A and B are shown apart, each in its own frame.
Chain A
Amino acid sequence: QAGLTQPPSVSKALRQTATLTCTGNSNNNVHNQGVAWLQQHQGHPPKLLSYRNNNRPSGISERFSASRSGNTASLTITGLQPEDEADYFCSTWDSSLSTWVFGGGTKLTVL
């Protein structure tokens, strides 16, 4: 069983809260490895939102917060804005493959 599983798409209304999930397997140990989250707008490179589970780099809005429970990591975005419409990727270390792996990504639509 490969990789990190993310829902392909999530739609939420403007100013609402979106929670994006990322479920690991026994190989990639989401439950005990650091998880990072990235945002990518179409045609642009990814942007780091969170690293080592719930640390925000400087300059990232407090509207973005990450958490982890068991083998599922989550990214919560509050007060959705039009510019939040993007693809979101989770990532972690897969110890069986000795590889940093990315989830398939979730396309967030802000209605």
Chain B
Amino acid sequence: QVQLVQSGAEVKKPGASVKVSCKASGYTLANYAMHWVRQAPGQTLEWMVYINVGNGNTKYSQTFQDRLTISTDTSANTAYMELSSLTSEDTAVYYCAREPYTYDFGMDVWGQGTTVTVSS
């Protein structure tokens, strides 16, 4: 069964960083691309970043480029997203989502989401 399992909810203080993991099962991480997308409460989806896991190429949203780091550990079949300098505006559910290389940003498998709350 193909699935993405994300790490648990986080509560962070303003200025801190958060690192979310996304473990793939049922397929090989390197054979697909991966995106990270977030959704603030009651809001639409917001794309953050894309990585071609096979060759390491990345595309970042300009909104996050300066404080977002993505990485992968193919031996663990896991992707990671780290967002720094958190503010209350970063309170959201963060999703990882798989993209087959031929799907042109069509994300066909999604993680269950990780709730990140930023509060003093």
- Point out residues on A near B: beta carbons under 8 Å: 34, 36, 38, 45-48, 50-52, 55, 57, 89, 91, 93, 97-105
Are A102 and B47 neighbours in the complex by a CB distance under 8 Å? yes
Are A34 and B47 neighbours in the complex by a CB distance under 8 Å? no
Q: What are 20 sample pairs from A and B whose C-beta atoms fall under 8 A apart?
A: A34-B105, A36-B104, A36-B107, A45-B95, A45-B97, A48-B106, A51-B103, A51-B105, A55-B103, A57-B106, A89-B44, A97-B62, A98-B59, A99-B62, A99-B63, A100-B47, A102-B44, A102-B46, A102-B47, A105-B45
Are A47 and B110 neighbours in the complex by a CB distance under 8 Å? yes
Contact of A57 (CB < 8 Å), options: B47, B108, B112, B113: B108
Across the interface, which residues of A come within 8 angstroms of B108, CB to CB?
Answer: 48, 51, 57
Q: In the complex, what residue of chain B is closest to A100 when comparing beta carbons?
A: B47
Across the interface, which residues of A come within 8 angstroms of B62, CB to CB?
Answer: 97-99
> Which of the four size classes fits the interface of chain B?
20 to 34
Across the interface, which residues of A come within 8 angstroms of B113, CB to CB?
Answer: 45
Q: B14 in the interface, Cβ–Cβ < 8 Å?
A: no
Q: In the complex, what residue of chain B is closest to A34 when comparing beta carbons?
A: B104
Query: Interface SS of chain B: helix, strand, loop or mixed?
Result: loop
Q: B44-63 vs A: 1/0 string, CB under 8 Å?
A: 11110010000000010111
Smallest CB separation, B79 vs chain A (Å) = 15
Smallest CB separation, B33 vs chain A (Å) = 12
Are A93 and B105 neighbours in the complex by a CB distance under 8 Å? yes
List the 7 closest A-B pairs by CB distance, nearest first: A51-B106, A45-B110, A100-B47, A34-B104, A102-B45, A52-B104, A36-B106
Across the interface, which residues of B come within 8 angstroms of A93, CB to CB?
Answer: 105
Q: Known interface pairs A45-B95, A47-B110, A97-B62. Does A52 touch B103 (Cβ–Cβ under 8 Å)?
A: yes
Across the interface, which residues of A come within 8 angstroms of B61, CB to CB?
Answer: 97, 99-100
Kindly state the separation between the CA atoms of A93 and B44 in the bound complex, as whole angstroms. Answer: 16
Smallest CB separation, B63 vs chain A (Å) = 8
Q: In the complex, what residue of chain B is closest to A87 when comparing beta carbons?
A: B44
Q: In the complex, what residue of chain A is closest to B98 when comparing beta carbons?
A: A48
